Structure formats: C-alpha cells, structure tokens
Amino acid sequence: MGQDGMAGQVRQRMFMRRTGRVLAVTRLVLAIVFLLAVVVEPTQPARAALAGLALLSAYMALAAAQVAIAWRSWWFDLRLARIAHLVDICAFVAGVYFTETNNSDFSSPFMAFAAFLLVSANLRWGWKGIAATALALLFANSVAGAVLYMLHFDLDLYRFSRRIVYMLVLSIVMVWLSSDNLLAQAIALADPGGDPGERRGRVLTAAMAQARQALGARGVAVALLRNEEPLVEIFQDDGTATHAMAAPGDLSDALAAGHPATLFDLRRGRRIELARGEGFVARTGPVSMPLARRCNTDEGISCAFSTASGPAELLVWGMRDITVDDMPLVEAFAREIGLALDREEMALLAQQAAVSGIRNALARDLHDSVAQFLAGTLFRIEALRRWIREGNDPEGEIDAIKQALRREQVQLRGLIDRLRKGEDGDRRTDLAEELDALLVELAHHWHIATRLDAAVRPLPVSIELAYELRQLVREGVANAVRHGHCSSVTVSIAGEAEALRLRIHDDGAGFPKGPVPLRPRSISERVEALGGQLLIADASRGVTLDISLPARMAA
C-alpha cells in the first residue's frame, strides 16, 4: 500500500466513530470564525465591545480546551458533554446580544450556532436532545430579543422572528429524522461457509475476526453459558483463535445477570453504559468484568446478549482511541452474533428432527414388514411342526415358506432401494391390484381368509402412497391374527371426493379390555405422518380400522 493510501486510512480512522472529536473541532472552528468576523467587521460588536470580545475570546479558549479533552479522554468527553452544551447555548444567547442589529446577517451567530447546537444534541442524545435544545434556544433567544427590543436597541423584529421560525422548522425536521433510534446500527456478518447446523465454531471465529477488523481492536472474545451445562465456553481472537472452557464462578454469574453495552476502565473504576431510553449513562465505582480479567485487559467494551441456548457476552479491547461511539457498533455485532448462533441452533434442531423422522419411519417400515413377516414365519413353522408330527408331507408347506421368504426378500430390497435413492413420486400404480396381490400373500402367510372390496378399479395412486397403504394393511392383518386370533380379514378401499378411505375389518376377539382404549402404535404413527385420521371400532366380535387420508395424497 502506498503512502497516499496509508494517509487516507489514518485520516479516516481519525474521525470515524469519533463524535466527540468532530463536535469539539467544529466548535473551535465556529468560535474562531465568529471571533474573526466580529473583529474584522467595523460595526461589531454592536454593543459592549470590550465585554463582547472578551467573552468570544474566552469561548474560543474553552473550545480549544474541549478539543484537548475529546482527544485524550473518552470519560471526561462524555461527562462534560452536557456542561459544554450548556456553555454553547449561553454563548449563543450572548452572541445574539452583542452582535444583533438590523444589518448583522453576516456577523450574527444565530443560524450557525443554532444548527451546530441541534446537530450536536442529535449526535449526543438523539431526538430527545434535539427537542430539549430547541426549546431552550427558542426560550433563550425570545428572552434576548425581548430584552433588546425593550431597551430600544437597533433590532429588526421581522428578520428576528423569521429566523426563529426557521430554527423551529429545522428542529422539527431533525427530531423526526432522528426519532428512529439513533444508536441502532446494522451489521452483516460474513458467511463462513459449510453446512448450517455444523459450523457453530466457524461462525463465531469469522464473526470475531470481522469485529476485530471493523473496530481496529487488538482482541475479541465471546463467552457462552449454555442452559443445560454448568461450564462457560470461551472463544477468543487476539490474532490467534482459541477455544476454552471455564468452570462455574464469577463469569457464569455475570453472564446470567447480563448487562447493556458498557465502555469500562477497571483501573479507574469508570464505566459508561448504553441504556435503552436513556442513552449514554456514566457511572463510577468498582467495575466487575470477569471476562475482561480473564483476557488480561483493563479497558474495553463489553455487551451481553442472549441466544436460544443461553446468555452470552461479547468483549472487545485494545481499540486505538476508544470512545463511546464504538459502543453501538459493538452492540450491533453482539446482536448479530446472537442471531447467527440462533440460526445455527435452529439448523441443528432441524437436522436432528429430520434424522429422528427418518429413524422413526425406518422403524415403522421394519416393524410393519420384516418384524411382522418374521412373526408370521414363526407362526407357520410351529404349524409345520404340528403338521409333521401328524405324519403329513411337509414339502408343500416348506416350498410355500420358501416362496414367502423370496417375496419378503424382494420387499426388503425395495425398502433398501427407497432409502438409498428416494421414492420416485411421479410413478403411479393401481392400488387395487397392489392390495389384491398383498392379501393373497398374507392369506397364505397367516393361514386366514382375506378379501378386498374395491369400489373403483383401477385406483391409480403414487408409488409412495401405495407403499404406505401396503404397510398399513400388513400391520393391520398381523395384529388381527396375532392378538385377535382372527380367521378372516376384509379390506375395503374407496376414493371419495375429499378423502381416500381404507377399512380393515377382522372377525377376531378385539383389543384387550382396559381403562384406557388401546391403539396400534405403528398404524397410528403412520396415519398421522400421512396427515390422515384413524378411527377404531372395537366390537364384541372383531375390530374395524377406519383410515381416512386427504384426497391430495392420492392425487
């Protein structure tokens, strides 16, 4: 980088976020120009020449002292701000008294001082400061004008009144413009890349590096207290990114308590807080900043913020020429870091929910297919044993079991393919034909009678829905045989205007009687996942499962 570029950066940093310095320099320039204008103008001061020159000279000296204070101490710059503002108002009234005449447009300080005071109040205290300053100026200037008029000084009331109206209009416009939270700043954190939900550390590291660069700081730290853990997680960037854990103690207590954005000086026992609704508030006394002590710094800006997982704190230190103007920016960084961590937490929860959903769906599929088939196979093997003991030929039943195993192997491979490649939602099949084949298979497998009643043939549905309905029928028939000891099952399917209806009726013994009606868990979960409704009619002889699915599922 060339010397011109470096010089430009130095000039930019000198006045960037340095309200106190800008106002102090502006005040000094205004005082010097006004004093020179009065000295050069032959007709000025219009009255009490020696006193007027002495007062303007004293004001210029005070303005020079304010520049030195603003350059050397952020503490006294803020603590003396209201006093300096009051001095400015008094200088304004005195300037009007010493210079106001019918021909004093150039040398009168009215508009220059009024604009400076309103802008200063806006930068310091927002719209409330503008409103209070405007009222004070209107009152003081009106009193000064009335005194000049009553003492029969040379005064143009028309021009005097016109300028008061100008100042009033200017004050109203500035109040309106600054009413939308002067201290709010927008920060856009850089995207660190990676998969959302798995990059929490990268988000914090990138955000701290960005804050350190934007603020010209030597170091940045973020402390996080997770609600479910007693330990405090500390991320630090002072040129090298580090990550550590701290035991419960002063730091965890401070995080739990929280605090607004605070500019602090531990050695001198000074702090300035950015309080909502009050602006900058200066306080003295012992300052407790456990994170600052851990980072070995006595001066910096700290801001507590909240995240979905618990309270947190952002600490920035080592800024050159630190001032209160840095506090809103630190607060903005803290707010954006909190939002970024919340987004990562939400992404992680979404991933966990997706994994949980897949796990539950897989559990239902395995339960309704493989587990029920194995249970049925055991049932058939027991029957085959009795068949052999009775002296019958087992070859036919063995072949039937082998065929059933092959069919189940095909079904299991189809399930694996669905998990690997996903379901092709555009493919369709005839549901009635699918259920016909399935009920024949189940009849042989469980040694029961099955029948399908289909009001409409063919009944085209998506491959995915056909698979889900097959699983529902598999589970319903298996439950009816194993728990209800039924001998026959009838399945009815119908596509209605607003719903797809599936009924499974058996002639078994029904559910065991108890104080709480029982519901088949796997079937209930699968119907709920499809957005449908399950009604159970448990009669003295048999159970009817009435399943209603939205029509859009069959579309």
pLDDT along the chain (555 residues), means of 10: 42 53 82 79 66 83 88 84 83 72 54 76 76 79 72 63 69 64 62 76 91 92 82 90 88 88 92 81 89 93 90 93 86 91 81 68 67 73 79 79 75 69 63 88 87 87 84 88 89 82 90 73 86 85 88 57
Based on the fold, state whether residues 225 and 157 are members of the same structural domain.
Answer: no
The reported pLDDT for the residue numbered 218 is 94
The CA-CA-CA angle for residues 476, 482, 366, to 5°, reads 55
pLDDT on residue 200: 84
Do 172 and 217 belong together in one domain? Answer: no
Listed in order, strand segments (DSSP E) in 332-477 are 428-430, 449-454, 460-462
pLDDT confidence of residue 14 = 39
CA distance 425 to 94: 84
Beta bridge partners of 233: 224, 245
Residue 332 domain-assigned? Answer: yes
Q: Are residues 81 and 165 in the same domain?
A: yes
Tokens of 550: 């939205």
Structural domains counted in the chain: 3
Q: Tell me whether residue 237 is in a domain.
A: yes
SS3 (DSSP) at 220: strand
Asked, for residue 365, whether it belongs to a domain, the answer is: no
For residue 2, what pLDDT is reported? Answer: 44
Structural domain containing residue 318? 208-348
- Out of 348, 376, 393, a domain closes at 348
Residue at 203 is within a domain: no
What pLDDT was estimated at residue 197? 66
CA angle 141, 142, 143 (to 5 degrees): 90
Q: Which of 301, 321, 348 marks a domain boundary?
A: 348
Last residue of a domain, one of 316, 348, 380: 348
pLDDT at 350: 72
Residue 458: asked if its preceding bond is cis (omega within 30°), the reply is: yes
Which segments within 459-540 are labelled E, that is strand?
460-462, 488-495, 499-506, 533-538
For 98, the token pair is 């010493």
Verify that 172 and 216 share a domain, yes or no: no
What is the distance between the alpha carbons of residues 303 and 331, in angstroms, rounded to a whole number?
6
What is the pLDDT at residue 224?
A: 92
Q: Is residue 380 part of a domain?
A: no
Residue 158 shares a structural domain with residue 273: no
Residue pair 153/105 in contact by the 8 Å Cβ criterion: no
Q: Give the pLDDT of residue 106.
A: 42
